[in-house]
Amino acid sequence: MRLPAITFAILLVACTTIASADENPVSFRFDVLPALTRAGCNAGTCHGTPTGKNGFHLSLRGFDAAHDWTALTREVNGRRINRQRPQQSLILLKATAAVPHEGGRRLQKDGRLYRLIERWLREGATDDSDQEISLAAIEMTPRAGTINHDAEPPRLLVTAKFSDGSRRDVTHLARFSSTDEEIATIAEDGSLERHGPGEVTLAAEYAGQFASSTFILRRGDVEVTWDRPQAGNFIDDQVFAKLEQLQIEPSELSSDEEFLRRICLDLHGRLPTPDEIRSFVGDDTPDKRSRLIDTLIDSPQFADWWAMKWTDRLGCNQRFVGKWGAQKYHQWIRHAMATNVPEDAFFRQLLTGSGGNYSSPPASFWRRLRVGGIGDNIDPLMATEEISQLVLGVRIQCARCHNHPGERWTQDDFYGLAAFFARVKFKKGPYYNHNYDKEDTVFPIATGDVTHPRTGQIAPPRLLDGHLPVIADDEDRRVTFAEWATAPENPWFARAAVNRIWFHLFGQGIVDPVDDFRSSNPPTHPELLDSLADEFIRSGFDRKELIRLVTNSRVYQLSSKPTPTNADDDRYFSHRAVRLLHAEQLLDAVATVTGVEERFPGMPPGTRAVALPDGEYKHPFLEAFGRPARASACECERDSGLNFSQALHLVGGRVVQDKIHSESGRAAALAGSDRSADELAEELVLLTFSRFPTDEEQELLRTLLTSEDRRRAVEDVLWTLINHREFLFQH
């Protein structure tokens, strides 16, 4: 079916007049400041930097109108403006490069923005901050669309809606951005300029408010016709519908061997054994994949692997929580994963954790958030940054110093949230005097506030939805926040939680980065994200049930082998993304295939790297492959990049070499067995690649393994397979 040339849903507001800016005096707040923002004068690289430029400081993108009006009209004896001769105002001379200006030309003389500022000067350069009217919201139309390659792109309209009910076209004052400038951008007049095929979100900012529109620009060089694959659940329906819109064909279903390797790595953090592979491939029952998923989810190794993901983010490191505290904290988190404590209950316990952190492990969550890492008080500003990112998926850090330049969050939001965490203290716990193993007791107090840096006033507790709860002094403010944050009706918690689980299963979130929800970073599949969140809430925030739902989808089980139309897709889940094994997975995999376990000092024999409780544990191999120190709530702390040190560890490092050549290792055992060369080849490929060798591989390995020095041959083959991309990467 051929789509119409252009399809849009445009909201028409009846009986509403959009006023012209020329009908009223120029507003400093709603005309001049947005004009300076659009021109880039108050950007973070110009006068909006915290220290300003060349003695002239403006608030970042105009968030502090009173400061900016004073800076323009009062500082340096008012030299920056000239009410009698507006064109001689320094603000215009500099911006048009009529006099030397480090920032170059920002305005065209006699251009629309220039004339607007000139008129404001001519009208007296007044401040209108005392007016009661406020900006309620902005909207951008069309809100969405699918544009064929031969269709005329639309012109976007940005409309401001004010508190008195009036509306204005502010397209010429809006600052535009694109999530992918290689696909589309917006011209000065609001016209969409197409540069390539794909999906793009175009965002508009005006006077601290944001709106966005999302478009699919279809390609003309290919006509994709495919029958939609059979869906396993609603995940498939929604992902395949999006792929059809984008003219991207999904890959085939993964093979049994590919699926088995993937699901074992994703649910247990380990490779399947050769016996597991032979058994699974030989099973002809149609429900074997779903039965395997159930078995893996109910295994103790599931708890080890998924506990690691949370200990990474929750500060499980003896530097913060004490040596014994790290052990206890890890045990508590692992038990929560094993017993499937609901996600909302899990976070309520963390957010309200009190008592000695050895006897009450959730209290350890707060120890990383203390002032300077050593004080007796929580750092409420650090807590705000970490908790909003971890629990709500929102990076609100920018609003600590100024209103967020790319999102709606203000300093009022930031310091209102910080007020919930300002009344928490530490005192010595029962085991405080132990050498480098000090216990702290976390407890709420009745006093303690944060001061808003711009107003100088005490910030009252304020939730991100703007609500100001009434909390008695003898109540723990954290309880109020925790109950709000984890409530089913909270618009952030469930969506952030399911997005994080999706990220751990696919290597990429529906919103990516996984903890950066904002209008200018929209989800690739918004309806899917909402559906998953609704299902998560309906299940009682059941983590295992959500993982079971996702892994049973066809989308999760697609092959990593690309098709001609999806080879370049790295966003829409048309095929499995290939990614390097995590450091802990890789170390465990090397130990498994060589048959020589890695011994960790102070840990019992058989401990896997994925089950190490303490982020302070030093291991050169793990560090080279990006194991995090567990010092941040950000998923970005884990380094998944490639580096030269990794190659050195794999090619000639102690871990790989010692295990391959060990007298008690697998290579020695296989070489000394009575297995044929063909049997050895099959076993080695099953161990490392989790599949049977191809005929070509079998023939090559047979030749190598019939060497007179059988032990050397097995070791060489094993070393080669360990250093192969198919072993090192998940696919």
Same domain, residue pair 56 and 91 = yes
Looking at the domain assignment, is residue 653 inside a domain?
Answer: no
**Residue 472 pLDDT exceeds 80:** yes
**Do residues 373 and 458 both lie within one domain?**
yes
- Does some domain include residue 357? yes
Whether residues 378 and 242 share a domain: the answer is no
| Domain membership flag for residue 642 | no
What is the number of domains present in the chain?
4
Per-residue model confidence (pLDDT) at position 412: 92
Q: Which of 425, 405, 400 is nearest to 415 (CA)?
A: 400
Q: What sections of 171-316 are H helices per DSSP?
A: 234-245, 256-268, 274-281, 288-297, 300-313
Residue 11 in this model has a pLDDT that exceeds 80: no
- The secondary structure of 512-560, three-state, reads CCCCCCECCECCCCHHHHHHHHHHHHHCCCCHHHHHHHHHCCCCCCECC
d(Cα 329, Cα 604) in Å, to the nearest integer? 18
Residue-wise pLDDT for 160-185, tens only, equals 999 999 999 999 999 999 999 999 99
User: What string of DSSP letters covers 382-442?
Assistant: HHHHHHHHHHH----GGGGTSS-TTSS--HHHHHHHHGGGSSEEEEE-TTTTSTT---EEE
Residue with the larger pLDDT of the pair 304 and 60: 304
Q: Are residues 470 and 498 in the same domain?
A: no
Same domain, 157 and 45: no
Higher pLDDT among residues 513 and 398, named by residue? 513
* Domain stop point among 76, 92, 122: 122
Q: Residue 666: phi, psi to the nearest 5?
A: -70, -40
Residue 582 resides in a domain: no
- The confidence band for 49, taking pLDDT boundaries of 50, 70 and 90, is confident
Whether residue 521 sits in one domain with residue 470: no
- pLDDT value at residue 10: 34
| Co-location of 367 and 418 in the same domain | yes
499 lies in some domain: yes
Are 470 and 527 part of one and the same domain?
Answer: no
Specify the DSSP element, H or E, that contains 287: none
* Residue 169 bridge partners (DSSP): 159
- Pick the closest to residue 332 from 379, 365, 288 (CA basis): 365
Q: What is the span of the domain harbouring residue 349?
A: 342-485
pLDDT at 239 over 80: yes
Of the residues 89, 122, 155, the one at which a domain ends: 122
Instruction: Confirm whether 273 is domain-assigned.
Output: no
Asked if the model's pLDDT at residue 106 lies above 80, the reply is yes
Does residue 148 lie in a domain region?
Answer: yes
In-domain check, residue 295: no
Instruction: For residues 346 and 457, state if they share a domain.
Output: yes
Lookup: tokens for 628:
């995090």
Same domain flag for 62 and 183: no
Contact partners, residue 321, CB within 8 Å, separation at least 6:
315, 329, 357, 364, 367, 368
Q: What is the mean pLDDT of the chain?
A: 92
Q: What is the CATH number of the domain that holds 154?
A: 2.60.40
Residues 371 and 454 in one domain: yes
Residues 104 and 179 in one domain: no
pLDDT digit string, tens, across residues 243-292 = 999 999 999 999 999 999 999 999 999 999 999 999 999 999 999 999 99
Picking from 537, 572, 607, the residue at the C-terminal end of a domain is 572
The whole-number pLDDT of residue 309 equals 98
Kindly provide the residue ranges of all beta strands, DSSP E only, lying in 15-118, ordered along the sequence: 18-19
